[in-house]
Each structure stands twice: as C-alpha cells, then as structure tokens.
Structure 1
Amino acid sequence: MNNAPGPSTTSPAYVFLFLEVFSCEGGIQSYVRDILTAYLKQPHPLPAEVLLLRDGPDCENPLEGVALHFTYLASHWPSLGRFKLVVGLTYYLLRYRPRHIICGHIRLVQLVAGLCRWFRLPYTVMTYGKEVWHPLPTAERAALQGAARIWTISRYSRDRACRANDLQASKVRMLPCVVDGEVFTPGPKSAELVERYGLGAGSVLMTVARLWSGDIYKGVDVTIRALPAIASAIPDVKYLVIGRGDDQPRLARLAQDLGVADRVVFAGFVPTADLADHYRLADAYIMPSQEGFGIVYLEAMACGVPVLAGDDDGSADPLQDGRLGWQVPHRDPEAVAAACIEILKGNDRRCQGEWLRQEVLAHFSAEALTRRLTELLTDLPT
C-alpha cells in the first residue's frame, strides 16, 4: 500500500480518483467497491491507478493486486490532502500518459478537467444522484459538460442531471448498482432477532435508511402515517426501521401521536454483515423515497422480499418500471397504505420470492456489472 505517488509495476491505462472508498460505510462507497471488484474480474484487466483523497494506508482494502495500484492521500489537514491529490495526479499524467481519467465524484471534477485539458486527455465523470440534480456552480458545470463520458446509476438520475446542467444525454452511460446474490439470500426469520425486536408472529414491514433530518425524502414518516390504515386491515402488523440519525426523535413522536408507537421498532444501526438476516425478518420492504437508484431494493428482492418504492425516481430501474415491485407517490400515506395491504395479502406475482430473486440477479448481479463495465471501458474515447 502506498501513501504517496510512486511507480506502479507497469504503466496504468486508467487513473481513477475517488473521495473515499474503504474508510467509511455508505451507498456510494459500496457501489465504488463493487465497480473496482468488477474491474478486477474482467478477463484481462489493464493496469490502473486509484487515487484516494480521504483514505489512509491503514484502511482495510481487499482489492490490492496486480491490476489495481492504490495511492492513499488522507491527511489531518484537508487542504494538504487536496494538494497531494494534485501532485499525485500530475505525476501520473506526466510519467505515464494514461489513456483515460475517471473522476469518481463531482467535487473532484474541476481538478480533473483542468489537468486533462492541459495534458489533452479525455476524462469520464461518475455521478450517483442528488449531487447533480440541481444546477451546479458555473465552473463545476463546465467541467462536467467537458467530460467525454458521464457514468450514472439510473435513467432518472441521467435525466435530472441533464436538465439541471445542460448536459448532452448522448454522453451519458448507465452503470447500475448491483447486489451480492451470495450474501443476500432467502431464508427463515431469525428467532433471536424476532425476540430482540418483539416482532412476534405478525407481519413485518421494514425500511433501511439514514434517519437524518435532511433525508426525510426516505419516507419513513410517510410509512408511519400509513400505519393506522394498514393496521385496520392487518391487525398484527409491525414496522421495523433500521438506521440512525437526528430525525429519530421526531419519527418516534409521530408514531406516538398517531397511536402506533407500539407497532414501530427503531432498531438503530445494523452492520452490513448483519443486514441479510434483518431483510429476512420482513414480509415487505417499504421505502416510498426519491432515490438515485436504491440498492436496498435489490438487497430486499434478492432475499425474496417484495418491495414498495416511489413512482418518480431512480428506483424505476431496480423495480423494472413496476414489473418487480410497487411504485406509489412518495409522499402519499394513503397510497402507501393501500399498496402495503396488497403486498401483505400476498396474491400478486411480485410477492413470489424465488421469482423476484431470479429476475433481480439476471440484471443486477456482480457478473452483470463486470460485463457492463467492460463494455463501458471499451466505449471510452482515448
């Protein structure tokens, strides 16, 4: 592992830049790890350099190998870290003249665009969701517009980014999230977890989400508002909420005010390694949200759990425009209640766990990501 620019064993064909990948958990970090893993799973991966602004050499990185060489640039002083990134990228461009630069976050795009213009090299920008759904500052927008390619996770994210920042849709390519079908599998409910959360033998709705006051779009409050109507049809229903954040007290008060506090279980943070066991507790995964994509829907369906999502966001891709799950107006408790009741009755094909899993893995497996990444790398201008 390196913490400063240094020679790779061979000249890198690509240089990737990311904010952080291994030092913290998050949806973007998980997605990037999947992409780097897919890179290594290509039949003949070309050497590539990966520059990591906020990761240090002590992070746990299982991907060190022949094809990927990592440079760790974390610093106690953020300005020093960015200076090291400028030096590191300049070094690789001067020494190796890689065929293409892949910028892993919009916050790095001005640096990448400036150096790539100087060295006359093409670059690609990876986007994820709401960070590009609104007009960017002039310099960032120009840097994004100057990219040879833009990779994004869903049609919805593509369309919003293009409208907000006057991008050419012809430059945008889809690189969707995927799910690990060996980790997220169907199975019986854990008796220990059922007892821990007091779920009993009733029906369980579940959401996995950050409970931050800035992220109310996740729809946990909408689902709580829908609970009285759901309970009138499904008397034994409970709602398991996995996640933590400063919005939990408000959500707990809302449940109390609506008389459903005894039905709402706040489980707090659950480590990634334990998530599959928690999905298996659910009879339905409910998140009427506005997502860029929503990998949690894939995880739930891979575990054989039917899902509910919003009807105007990137979840249309994992739900295949409603073929695999329910799409409802994301701030409409009545629509959420009606769909939840329908799901819990279990009469729809979208409630068939094995079929759900089969369809999800056909389109969103690690193998599918490797094939798609290979296609996109072949498509890159050099």
Structure 2
Amino acid sequence: MKILQTPARIFATGGVESYVRNLSRELIGMGHDVGVICADGPGENDIDQRIHTKTLKSRGKIANTSINPYLPLALYREDFDILHTHLPTPWSADWSGLISRLKKRPLVLTYHNDIVGEGWAGQIAWIYNKTALKLLLKSAGGIIVTRNRYVSPYLKDYASKVFFVPLGIDVDAFRPKEAPPKGDIFFLSVLDEFHRYKGLEVLFAALKIMKQELPDVRLVVGGRGCMFDHYRRMADSLGIGDNVSFAGFIPSEKLIEYYNGCKLFALPSTDPSREGFGIVPLEAMACERPVVVTEIMGMARDINECGAGMVVRCNDKEALASSMLAILKDDDLAGRMGAEGRKLAIGKYSWRRAAEQIERVYRELL
C-alpha cells in the first residue's frame, strides 16, 4: 500500500510531528511504502531515511500552519493509495482533502484537536470551522481521534466514521538508561504563540512557589520557537532565571538523555480544545520517569489508575507545585511511579498496535 502523509512539518519537536514519524516507521516495517510531504524547517537531517520525505519551502506561517504555494501541485503529482492528513494545520489538510477528491483516493484525517485561537486568530478559526472544516470532514473517509471520549462539537455529525486509535511509543528507543544529570523537571514543547496552551507559564508560576522550599530546584525547558526569548525574560522577571535552563531544539536521538537526566516530566496543558493525546509524557513514562500532567491529557485516567504520576487541575499552580515537590522529595515514590509508567507504556501504548489499527482503517476505505 502506498501511503502519503501530509503534516505541516515533520522535523520540529511536537506531538503531531512525533506521531507522523513513528507511525510512518511502523507502517514501513509492516511492508508499506510511506511518503511525507511537508514544509521545510530546522532538524531536516533528523529524520529516518526510510521515510520518503519531500520538503517544500515555507512562505510564511499563520498560527501553527506553514503556508506553501507549491503544495497543491506537489500533492497532485504524487502516486498514492491513501492520503493521510492531520489537523489542526488547515493549509496542508485542506489541500489534501481537495487533491484526494480530484484523484479519487481515500482521505484519512487524524483530528488531533480543535482549531482555536485568540484575537484575530480566533476570528479566522471561527470562520474556518464554519466553512472549510465542514468540507474537509465530509471529504474524509475516516477520522481518527487519539483520545477516547474526545468530544468536539465539529465531529458530532460524523460519528459513524470516527475511529479511536490511541497513540503509541517506541519502548525500545525510549527506555531507562544512565544519563548525566540535566535538572529536576523537564518540559518539552514548541515555544511559540500557538503552543502557549502547553502551560509553561503555569509551570513557571509553580516553580516560583517550589523555590521557597527547594531553592536550588532546576527546570529544563526543551524546544524553540518565536517566544523563546519571551520565556527567558519571563523567567528572569519572576525571579527564577537561575532555576531555569533553556536547552533549545533537542534532536530525537538526544531526547532520551533529557528524559533520563531529569527526575520528573511536567506538562501542565491548559486548553482541552487544543491538547490532544499528549505523546511526550508517554515518552517520559517509557523512560521510567514520573509525570505530572493536567486532567485534560488523553492518558490522565491511566496515569491516575496505575500511579504513574500525578494529575492536577488546569491552571492550578499550587497543586502543580505541591505534586512536583512530593515527587522530588520522595525517591521511593518517584521510583514506584516511574516503574508503573513504563509498565503502562509497554502494556497499552505501542506504535505497532496503533499502526495495525490504523492499517485496518486504511483497508476499510480501499
């Protein structure tokens, strides 16, 4: 089967990018021919050469969407059996929908989360959701969601073609190993306006509270973006500049060192309409690191039930601080949580299992 994936990017640090990379690898391992067309970006050499990747020069960016005028022609020239696209990046998704109709090929859409925004971006999102999104959802033969019980007002009319497929993790690549100490807490995200919902500002506020009890507590922030300098200034203004180190873009082969080099992973996401499954906490769990996340994460219930970490309310800096302090001050607790997290990752969340479920969706549409 020839499968073409069309994310906005594949190189950047982010959940959708990781999803595309890992799903592509598994599908190739299952004997499929997988290609990717996306915008260029930093880290282009950090990609599996087995994935036939074609990059197009980005001519700008609106919110989280790279704009490329050459995309429609590039898509039309490709030969594929299945076109698999992704939201919340409309440009690549909408052109994929149009090309799939023109070429009479099935379209699969992974709906990671709603398209929302603030200010002018919110107005554009509202117009898009009332118009182009409806056409895209109608065009899709199958719509994949990564969170069970994910309720989007835009999907209610398409329930008959919605498939729940949880994300996976490469537990052989992400595993516990010796690593030089990096810090106490690790946070990873794209540092731009669109990804503010990942909760770094809340994490900074919690760190300020924690500093009263643990003056030398250290947070490592991974990722780059247009708000990189903004966050550095924010840390300084809050009086936690000496407690925060910014690692910048971290290549995938180095990520395991950061997960293992810190004592816990935190991702206090704040917006349920934007947050999808949340793959980076799963990577941390596979490395036997306890995680602290908010209740909106796709795996929050599993984390609570198996004791792989702690789940707090959104925007609750006090609860976030106390949860992280409890883990950092109790090595036995951290060890138990880490062990339970890896067991959960191995037992329930494998990329092969996810790829097999998605393959079944493909075959239903052919």
TM-score (norm 1): 0.74
Matched, 1:148 2:141: yes
Q: Does 1:62 align with 2:49?
A: yes
1:301-339 Cα deviation digits (max 9, x unpaired)? 111110011112435377477753322122121111121
Instruction: Decide whether aligned partners of structure 1 residues 16 and 357 sit closer, same or farther in structure 2, where only a CA change above 3 A counts.
Output: same
- Give unmatched runs, 5+ long, in structure 1: 1-12, 65-69
Identify the residue that residue 309 of structure 1 maps to in structure 2.
293
Give unpaired runs (5+ residues) of structure 2.
60-67, 118-124
What is the SS of the residue equivalent to 2:344? helix
Matched, 1:335 2:319: yes
For 1:240 and 1:48, the matched residues in 2 are separated by 38
TM-score by length of 2: 0.77
Deviates more, 1:117-126 or 1:237-246: 117-126
Match of 1:357 among 342, 350, 362: 342
Residue 14 of structure 2 corresponds to residue 29 of structure 1: no
- Match of residue 353 from structure 2: 368
Offset of residue 266 of structure 1:
2.2
Q: Indicate whether 1:40 and 2:28 are aligned.
A: yes
Secondary structure of 2:166's counterpart equals coil
Listed one character per residue, the Cα deviations across residues 127-172 of structure 1 (whole Å, up to 9, x for unaligned) are 222448965241331231342210122236x422xx1354322321
Distance 1:259 1:355, change over 3 A: same
State the partner residue of 2:65: none
Pairing of 1:78-227 with structure 2 (within 5 A): 78-86=68-76, 88=77, 92=79, 98=81, 101-104=83-86, 106-114=90-98, 122-131=106-115, 136-155=129-148, 158-160=150-152, 163-164=153-154, 166-190=156-180, 194=182, 204-227=184-207
Distance in 1 (CA, whole Å) between partners of 2:155 and 2:116 is: 8
Partner residue in 1 for 2:120: none
RMSD over aligned CA atoms reads 3.5
Contact 1:211 / 1:243 at 8 angstroms: preserved in 2? yes
SS at match of 1:124: strand
Tell me if structure 2 keeps the 8 A contact 1:14–1:102: no
Q: 1:227-242 counterparts in 2 under 5 A?
A: 227-242=207-222
Say if 1:184 and 1:109 are closer, same or farther in 2 by CA, change over 3 A: closer
Q: Distance in 1 between matches of 2:284 and 2:324?
A: 15
1:285 paired residue among 265, 268, 272 = 265
Tell me the equivalent position of 1:5.
none
Are the counterparts in 2 of residues 293 and 317 from structure 1 also a CA contact under 8 Å? no
Compared CA separation, residues 137 and 242, structure 1 to 2 (3 A): same
Quote the residue 2:308 is aligned against.
324
CA spacing shift, 1:170–1:339, aligned 2, 3 Å: farther
Structure 1 residues 37-71: Cα deviation after superposition (integer angstroms, max 9, x where no partner): 222333xx4x6574625479x9765226xxxxx58
One-letter code aligned to 1:174: F
Cα deviation digits, residues 213-246 of structure 1 (max 9, x gap): 4422221221221123323344442222222334
In 2: Cα distance, 1:39 partner to 1:80 partner: 27
Identity rate, percent: 24
Cα deviation 1:100-126 (Å, max 9, x = unaligned): 543455534544545655676543222
Asked whether the equivalents of residues 176 and 286 of structure 2 are also in contact (C-alpha less than 8 Å), the reply is: yes
For residues 321 and 129 of structure 1, what CA distance do their matches in structure 2 show?
Answer: 24
- Cα distance in structure 1, aligned partners of 2:11 and 2:243: 36
Structure 1, 21-30 or 123-132: larger mean CA deviation:
21-30
How many pairs align?
339
